[in-house]
Amino acid sequence: MLADEQLFKVRVVQWILAKKTEEALEALSKYYRIDIPRLRVGMPKRSGDKAGCYVSAIKTIHVASEERLYDPFVILHEFYHHLRTQDGKHRGTEKHANKFAQDYITAYQSAQGYSFRFSYEY
């Protein structure tokens, strides 16, 4: 059995992949008891060619393109910055943001592996 926390992570990734990013952000914000970030397609000026960024002043996650809206790694990475900006001080490091996103994706991937083996036995 997967722990509740693992199931939550699997569900969040599933939502993002199913193009229900708003729902995923709502669930994440509820889970961490913080405000829901805004989500916008299109990057602020001078942001280079990054896939996404978080602007804490307006609590907004920007993604470079519509397809990035459904990219769990980008969404979760930027959500981490939102999570870490709650006290108005720390943005969190890129390394930690990547680790946060990777944790969710790993949970999703191991659940996929589990259900694959499960159905394969039938």
Binding residues for Zn ion (CB under 5 A): 94, 97
DSSP type of residue 121:
T
Min dist. Cβ of residue 18 to Zn ion (A): 24
Instruction: Provide DSSP, 3-48.
Output: -HHHHHHHHHHHHHHTT-HHHHHHHHHHHTT-PPPEEEESPPTT-T
Residue (15 or 54) nearer to Zn ion, CB: 54
Residue (22 or 94) nearer to Zn ion, CB: 94
Residue (10 or 97) nearer to Zn ion, CB: 97
Q: Are the CB atoms for 73 and 63 separated by under 8 Å? A: no
**What residue number has its CB nearest to Zn ion?**
97
Min dist. Cβ of residue 77 to Zn ion (A): 5
Residue (35 or 94) nearer to Zn ion, CB: 94
Min dist. Cβ of residue 94 to Zn ion (A): 5
Q: CA angle, 25 as apex, 74 and 56 as ends, to 5°?
A: 70
Q: Are the CB atoms for 74 and 25 separated by under 8 Å? A: no
Min dist. Cβ of residue 24 to Zn ion (A): 18
